[in-house]
């Protein structure tokens, strides 16, 4: 989808979700065909002409300044993530290029070392389209223990967390509040789509999920954006039962991110995670057979024999 079309859809959707009472617009009891704000009402709140705002919403203007975009964001009561998303959409068609497939995402050595250091914490590395690039032993056991642990090593077979959340029954049952997790996944994909409008693989993923999941299609049409930074989830794991984890995203610039799941010290959730770590521990290697040595003779004043001949 072209950037200006996405911008228009975003503005129309968010305008329809904002009621006149939310922003102090008086309606005097007059009948309204839609519950949201009218274009001229939003334009007045943003301090721009109704004709200019209409052209912007219809994708006929590519010249919106940062100041105008910020004024519209304030009128729509957007939060900071949504405001930045609005700017990304407005920039999408400037210097328009043909959609392209970005270079394959890889895990660098520093990130691999971090993953190894987090051995007792569930962790995985995600690409920007939520492809699983790597996970540690506990991350695999918590998030996708039903999958082959080596599958992220094959670029063509890598699991995708968005697909798992919407299309995989195991992952769906893993979250007590599945709708909340699903909305977070969609909100993050919305942000990424605004930042990378030429990513054809991302557009393909969105199209696939929209066609295979009516729930995804409905959430995508809502145009909500949500950065996946820190979130608390109640999980229902098939091996260890209920636990509450805090999922945090560790980002280092524009590359892949590391997602970790932590639990409160001394909590039942920490105990459950310890049990999972024990269950997922690799089998111990066979012990090396050593020759049996004679037991050392006790020392004492009555012993006078030679250590070689008794």
| Residue 150 within a domain | yes
pLDDT of res. 126: 96
Domain membership flag for residue 48: yes
Domain ends where: 41, 63, 91? Answer: 91
5 pLDDT band, cuts 50/70/90, is confident
Same domain, 224 and 131: yes
Predicted structure pTM score? 0.80
Return the structure tokens found at 24: 């102090």
Does residue 103 fall inside a structural domain? no
| Model confidence at 288: pLDDT above 80 | no
- Statement: residue 291 has pLDDT above 50: no
**Do 115 and 173 sit in the same domain of this protein?**
yes
Comparing 296 with 124, which gets the higher pLDDT?
A: 124
CATH of the domain at 71: 1.10.260.40
What is the number of domains present in the chain?
Answer: 2
Averaged confidence pLDDT in the chain = 85
Percent of the chain clearing pLDDT 90 (strictly above): 58
pLDDT of residue 28: 60
74-126: per-residue pLDDT in tens?
Answer: 999 999 999 999 998 988 755 555 555 667 788 989 999 999 999 899 999 99
pLDDT of res. 153:
87
Q: Do residues 191 and 270 share a domain?
A: yes
- Do residues 141 and 274 share a domain? yes
309: pLDDT confidence band, cut at 50, 70 and 90?
very low
Tell me the pLDDT tens digit for each residue of 32-52.
777 788 899 899 999 999 999
185 and 72 housed in the same domain? no
- Do residues 184 and 192 lie in contact, with contact meaning Cβ atoms separated by under 8 Å? no
- What is residue 211's predicted lDDT score, i.e. its pLDDT? 97
The predicted structure's pLDDT at residue 263: 97
* pLDDT at res. 94: 58
Q: Is residue 75 part of a domain?
A: yes
Question: Is 42 part of any domain?
Answer: yes
Report residue 253 as tokens.
Answer: 């610039």
pLDDT at 298 over 60: no
Q: Are residues 42 and 167 in the same domain?
A: no
Answer yes or no: is pLDDT of 303 > 70. no
Domain that holds residue 252: 109-280
**Are residue 159 and residue 190 in the same domain, yes or no?**
yes
Do residues 33 and 159 share a domain? no
Reduced 3-state DSSP string for 243-282? EEEEEEEECCCCCCEEEEEECCCCCHHHHHHHHHHHHHCC
Residue 308 lies in a domain: no
Looking at per-residue pLDDT, the higher value among 29 and 310 belongs to 29
Assess whether 66 and 211 both reside in one domain: no
pLDDT tens-digit map of 189-248: 999 998 888 888 999 999 999 999 999 999 999 999 988 889 999 999 999 999 999 999
* 80 domain residue, yes or no: yes
- Read off the CATH number of the domain in which 172 is found: 3.30.450.180
- Tell me if 285 is assigned to some domain: no
Calculate mean pLDDT across residues 263-272.
97
| pLDDT attached to residue 310 | 35
pLDDT at 18 over 50: yes
292 token code pair: 């049996």
Tell me the pLDDT band of 283, cut-offs 50, 70 and 90.
low
One domain for residues 249 and 148: yes
Q: What is the arithmetic mean of pLDDT over 47-71? A: 87
């Amino acid at each position: 989808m072209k950037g200006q079309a996405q911008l228009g859809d975003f503005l129309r959707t968010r305008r329809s979700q904002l009621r006149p009472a939310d922003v102090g617009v008086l309606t005097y009891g007059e009948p309204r065909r839609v519950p949201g704000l009218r274009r001229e009402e939003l334009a007045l709140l943003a301090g721009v002409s109704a004709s200019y705002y209409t052209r912007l919403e219809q994708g006929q203007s590519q010249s919106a300044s940062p100041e105008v975009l910020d004024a519209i964001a304030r009128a729509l009561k957007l939060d900071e993530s949504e405001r930045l998303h609005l700017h990304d959409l407005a920039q999408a068609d400037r210097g328009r290029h043909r959609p392209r497939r970005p270079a394959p995402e890889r895990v660098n050595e520093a990130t691999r070392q971090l993953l190894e250091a987090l051995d007792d914490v569930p962790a995985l590395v995600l690409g920007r389209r939520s492809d699983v690039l790597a996970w540690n032993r506990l991350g695999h056991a918590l998030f996708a223990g039903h999958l082959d642990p080596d599958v992220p090593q094959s670029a063509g077979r890598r699991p995708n967390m968005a697909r798992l959340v919407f299309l995989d029954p195991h992952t769906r049952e893993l979250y007590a509040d599945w709708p909340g997790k699903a909305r977070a996944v969609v909100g993050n994909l919305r942000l990424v789509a605004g930042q990378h409008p030429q990513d054809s693989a991302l557009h393909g993923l969105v199209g696939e999920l929209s066609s295979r999941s009516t729930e995804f299609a409905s959430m995508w049409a809502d145009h909500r954006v949500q950065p996946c930074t820190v979130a608390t989830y109640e999980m229902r794991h098939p091996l260890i039962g209920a636990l509450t984890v805090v999922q945090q995203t560790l980002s280092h610039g524009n590359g892949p991110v590391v997602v970790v799941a932590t639990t409160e010290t001394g909590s039942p959730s920490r105990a459950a995670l310890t049990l999972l770590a024990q269950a997922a521990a690799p089998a111990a290697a066979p012990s090396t057979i050593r020759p049996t040595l004679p037991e050392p003779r006790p020392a004492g004043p009555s012993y006078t024999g030679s250590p070689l001949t008794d």
